[in-house]
């Protein structure tokens, strides 16, 4: 007769094999079995910051999906997930800290009056941004406004990292062309 631990180890082996193969049913089972436990762990790791814990949970899911491999026992699998979760909290905390520092610097320093050339460039940029499609503007906002990496954007949208980089390059070229065209018309 199989021991309960032997059954659990077989279940973890089957689950992690399915995760590594990208099986949707395995991801559903993973979510059902580990969501609450991971979230509680992340709340503690994030020192009670629920927003950071939720962001880290999403990032942990992405990392599990991206780096899934087979594990033979529950403790090894949990230890691996805990490392992914702790690094997601640390990464999220660093992003928040950088954002807060930049915001504080920006708010505490008097901003010089924009030069005439800068006003023209910003005006041209604003106009060129309005000419972009909604999807392109949203992509730029995720990359440059929210500070997401191409890898993160790719994971969010089910694209390859190369596809995201390619789209960003095309959008930047389009913006540059529009801005130069507008500035030549003014000058």
Q: Is 57 helix (H, G, I), strand (E, B) or coil?
A: helix
Mind listing the pLDDT tens digit for each residue in 45-68? 999 988 889 999 999 999 999 999
How confident is the model over 91-146, as pLDDT tens digits? 888 777 776 776 666 666 665 655 666 677 777 778 888 888 888 888 888 887 77
Q: pLDDT category, 1, cuts 50, 70, 90?
A: very low
- What pTM did the predictor assign? 0.52
| Distance, CA of 4 to CA of 23 (rounded, Å) | 25
What local confidence, expressed as pLDDT, does residue 2 receive? 47
HEC profile of 150-185: HHHHHHHHCCCHHHHHHHHHHHHHHHHHHHHHHHHH
- Which residue has 């540059």 as its token pair? 176
3-state secondary structure of 72: coil
For CATH 1.10.10.10, list the domain ranges present in the chain: 112-186
pLDDT digits (tens, 9 = 90+) for 114-129: 566 667 777 777 888 8
- Angle between helix axes 24-45 and 4-21 (nearest 10 degrees) is 100
Fold of 112-186: Arc Repressor Mutant, subunit A (1.10.10)
- 10 Å Cβ neighbour count for 57? 20
Residues of the chain with CATH 1.10.1740.10: 4-107
Average pLDDT, the chain: 84
Compute CA distances 87 → 16, 37, 109, 146, whole Å: 20, 17, 33, 19
Q: Does domain 4-107 have CATH number 2.40.170.20?
A: no
pLDDT exceeds cutoff 90 at 25 = yes
Distance CA 68, CA 27 (A): 11
The answer to whether 18 and 25 are in contact (CB under 8 A) is yes
């Amino acid at each position: 007769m199989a021991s309960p631990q032997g059954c659990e180890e077989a279940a973890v082996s089957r689950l992690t094999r399915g995760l590594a193969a990208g099986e949707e049913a395995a991801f559903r089972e993973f979510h059902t079995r580990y969501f609450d436990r991971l979230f509680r762990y992340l709340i503690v790791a994030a020192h009670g910051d629920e927003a950071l814990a939720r962001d880290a949970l999403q990032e942990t899911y992405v990392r599990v999906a991206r780096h899934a491999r087979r594990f033979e026992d529950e403790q090894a699998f949990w230890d691996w997930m805990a490392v992914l979760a702790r690094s997601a909290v640390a990464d999220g905390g660093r992003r928040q800290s950088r954002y807060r520092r930049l915001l504080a610097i920006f708010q505490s320093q008097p901003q010089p009056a924009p030069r005439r050339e800068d006003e023209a460039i910003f005006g041209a940029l604003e106009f060129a941004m309005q000419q972009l499609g909604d999807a392109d503007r949203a992509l730029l906002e995720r990359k440059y406004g929210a500070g997401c990496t191409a890898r993160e954007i790719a994971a969010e949208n089910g694209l390859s990292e190369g596809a995201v980089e390619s789209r960003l390059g095309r959008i930047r070229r389009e913006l540059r062309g529009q801005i130069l065209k507008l500035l030549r018309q003014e000058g």
